[in-house]
Amino acid sequence: MRIWARRLLVGAGIIAVGIGFVGYVADDGTVGSPLASRIAHGEVDSILPSLVPSLVLSEAVAEADHNATGREGGELPRHATPFETHLPGIANLDAALLIAVQAAARDAAEDGVPFWVTSGWRSAAYQQQLLDEAVEEYGGLEEARRFVATPSTSNHVTGRAVDIGPTDADSWLSQHGSAYGLCQTYANEMWHFELATEPGGICPAMLSDASEMQ
């Protein structure tokens, strides 16, 4: 993001925080500051959760940088949850997919199942990096493409795929995913899910592996 735009966002945040504290005159004539008083009464932990995520989300969505690698290119820390929308790999997911995955994660948690996004949106550069690494690992492009799609075919690059872990979460999601429209789409990747049916619908037949995506 250009530095002036970042400053504008930060500035907007500071102004919003300021408005929250400056206060207001209520209809009954009393003077108060809604946010400050809610913090004082323990209803709001701090001003940060209410303001910062939306700012960061808009920043990440506006800047899906396909040349970026590392965290900006979508690489996720271990045990990232679908609620960590400050991470570009989460924030740049297709909005409908993100909502479905968040709903599934909430219900999995109620069943006592930990639920992490091990990979979400990826920049084209990050996808290429993963493909290059797979070519090294599997000894050739043809074999590598069975597990890692190219930047032009990967649904991670379009933000329409998530990899879920650990294995318990994969099993939970293969059992319950269709209730949210979430389907395993490759037979050889039990962790890879896409929005592939209506909520409560029937998942389509799986492709055998990612190399079938041309």
DSSP 14: H
d(CA 174, CA 180): 11
Stretch that binds Zn ion, among 85-93, 133-141, 163-171, 196-204 (CB under 5 A): 163-171
- If one asks whether residue 163 binds Zn ion (CB under 5 A), the answer comes out as yes
Angstrom distance (rounded) from CA 15 to CA 20: 9
Q: Does 145 bind Zn ion (CB under 5 A)?
A: no
If the CB atoms of residues 111 and 143 are measured against Zn ion, the closer one turns out to be 143
Shortest Å distance, C-beta 163 to Zn ion: 4
Q: Which stretch binds Zn ion (CB under 5 A): 6-14, 28-36, 145-153, 156-164?
A: 156-164
Query: Would you say 102 or 185 has its CB closer to Zn ion?
Result: 185
Minimum distance of Zn ion from residue 193's CB (angstroms): 8
20/120 with CB nearer Zn ion: 120
**Residue 163 or 170 with smaller CB distance to Zn ion:** 163
Is residue 204 within 8 Å of residue 196, measured between CB atoms?
Answer: yes
Binding segment toward Zn ion, per CB under 5 A, in 78-86, 89-97, 138-146, 153-161:
153-161
Query: Smaller CB distance to Zn ion: residue 145 or 192?
Result: 192
Closest distance between Zn ion and the C-beta of residue 192, in Å? 4
- 3-class secondary-structure state, position 91: helix
What is the rounded CA–CA span in Å between residue 205 and residue 172?
19
Using CB under 5 A, pick the residue from 192, 195, 196, 211 that binds Zn ion: 192
Q: What's the rounded Cα separation, in Å, for the pair 119 and 79?
A: 10
Q: Any contact of residue 94 with Zn ion (CB under 5 A)?
A: no
Peptide bond into 199 cis (omega under 30): no
For 195, phi and psi rounded to 5 degrees? -80, 105
Q: Is 56:10 a contact under the CB 8 Å cutoff? A: no
Q: What's the maximum distance between 2 C-alpha atoms anywhere in the chain?
A: 75
Nearer to Zn ion, 108 or 161 (CB): 161
- CA 25, distance to chain mean position in Å, is 40
| Contact mark string toward Zn ion, 61..90, x via CB under 5 A | ------------------------------
Return d(Cα 204, Cα 196) in angstroms, integer.
7
Which parts of this chain interact with Zn ion (CB under 5 A)? 161, 163, 192
